[in-house]
Structure 1
Amino acid sequence: MCHFLGCPHGSPSAAPPPSPPPDFKLRRNLGIVPAALEPPRSNPAPMSPGSDLDNPRSSRRVHTLRAVRARSTGSSSLSLSQSPGSTNPRESHGWVHHPSANPTMELRAVAVAQGPSSPERAVITLEVEKNLSSTRMKNPGFVLSIIVLALAFSSALAYDPDPLQDFCVAIDEPKNAVFVNGKFCKNPKLVNTNDFFLSGLNIPGNTSNPIGSTVTPVFVDQLPGLNTMGISMVRIDYGINGLNPPHTHPRATEILHLLEGILYVGFVNSNPENRLFAKVLKPGEVFVFPKGMIHFQLNIGKTNAVAIAALSSQNPGIITIANALFNSKPPIYPNVLAKAFQLDGLVVEGLQKKFWYDNLDLSPKRQ
């Protein structure tokens, strides 16, 4: 029976392979997808011109940007990481150590997603070099290591982790508490209904400020029962011409529901496209701002406006772009901002001296 490195001598299904030269390179594709989903077979991607792979006398022949080297140390280990210099975000690199391997053996494994970006369509390209005997190549433990490496190729997910208990009410006092998601959990026996309750969102925020808007948050600091739940919300009040200035939420997607007024809303996607997605909202309409995207809302109506927004994190974070750049502490060196915004240095210094208003109302929760 043939395995992924070839058919053993004496197999009825294939003739014995020729003996490799003393210095050799063996390259195979190991598919780990179901047969129905397996992409068409193709030759391995060519190495960069002039690489050491083209040199038959080279004893260390992996020098391309995609290469990750390792020597067997007599203990099994697996690793998978993005290789320095790789330009393909769907490509990960790794190496395998196995106790049965030749101490001078070097190998690399490259996991490349084929077709649609899906873990089910991953293919491992395995390159083994330098003096591997057929016995070691047939070693089932070695093959198992490669399979485990293939299964390790998956996308990292970034979001609030699921709670490991019914609830974890946040508390500032660490005594008799457990630390979860950046907060101490209140003793469950001391938890009460008020830990899950907050009033006051019916009270309009003060819009008499330089930007004409106020954001009233319901984050974990205002409602402790949100801890580990992965959600939060805000009320946003806009005066006439009021603006919720361009900002991002580094840890959350936002969905905004307009209750009153008319808003011009939008977000800009990432480089290099920087495409604007914008819409005029009327009461009862909803708009989504993807996680991490710069977004804004402007009241273009003749009356005040009110919106409620939900966010996919108990602590989504808010980075107001202008405030972060021109009101950082300590200040950013003016030449940095002058070049970035193509402004005169004196203009930047003037902007840094301005008062930059933060419209997030972090006053104590209202009962």
Structure 2
Amino acid sequence: MVIRDDISRGFILPVTLWVIAAVSLAVASMSEWVASSLVTAIFVKNRMEADIELANIENELVFAFAKHPYTYRGLQVGTRQDTDTSDTNYDTMLRSNFVSDKMIFLDSRQYKIGKDKNYIIKIQDGRGLINLNTINEKFLGRLFNQLEVPNNLHSLLADTLLDYRDTDNLKRLSGAEKKDYARLKKHPPTNNPLLSPWEAQRIIGWNNLPPLWKTQYSQPLITTCRTSGFNPNTAPKEVLAIFMNKVTIEQTSNIINFREKIPIKNIADLNSASGTLQEGDPFFFNFVPGRCFIIELINPDKQQQIRFSLTLLPRNESQPWQIDYAIRIPKQYQNQAYREEQAVPFPSPEEIDGWSTAN
């Protein structure tokens, strides 16, 4: 059989065009894949570098707390120390008027940290916040009033929190236990201390408190640190107004100004600072930091903000510290009030090691 040339040419031309189109599509797909892979590789590289940087910062923090004493004033990191006692026992140093020529405040002040000092760090003593694992109904009422929560919800919110964290299955008047959560298809109460502030959003009624959670994202207000007592040396004004009698948020400036000059060491100092008479449980106030700290790391350039809870475990030889929880703060809640030029450098590991060697 004879095939005509014009028919062959008519058949080969479309095939050639299809092959060219297929090759072009494959090349385009390959280019897109390479570009996508390159972007992914850059992202992974940046993420790994950021994770390494954060790990280094975390290690610097633990090293600083392990090498230095912290007292009424904060974490002592200077090279000179003055104290009213010659005893080098750590507990005695806490009770003494121990002062060095440099220190780190534990009240959420800003410090620069990192290899290139490109991070802002804020350290908050857990004793200076509202502890959901220990707060009672009296102070819960003050918290709700400050957040302008309707009065008819106060009993519900207090009772559901107390029922959630206590160890029994007895239901308070306005509280809730396992059956109530099952009826609402919610996780049952743990009947244990809360592990993070955000666990409270599982408690009936507590997820409907926008003012609380907006504030909590913007700045630490509540905590679940395994510690007791309240430290007025490190508390923000909102917390001072809740835990101190006859003191408004406006009046807390007197206390803050007082502790800037002289640390508050006892009830007498606190009464002088506030101009009021503070009564109640004599063991409630604790004027030195605890072993739990809320750390905030801020990268202003990348608009990244991470908050985590660090607990020191000095008696645990295998791991003398632990991270209780960590959370990335959404951009819409990030506090834009920080100013990098106001932050002072956090001491380097070499400076810290030099301090411990000199002393």
Q: TM class, shorter-chain normalised?
A: under 0.3
Between structures 1 and 2, the one with greater helix share: 2
Q: TM-score normalised to the size of structure 1?
A: 0.22
Between structures 1 and 2, the one with greater strand share: 1
Q: TM-score normalised to the size of structure 2?
A: 0.22
The structure showing larger relative contact order (alpha-carbon pairs under 8 Å, at least 6 residues apart) is: 2
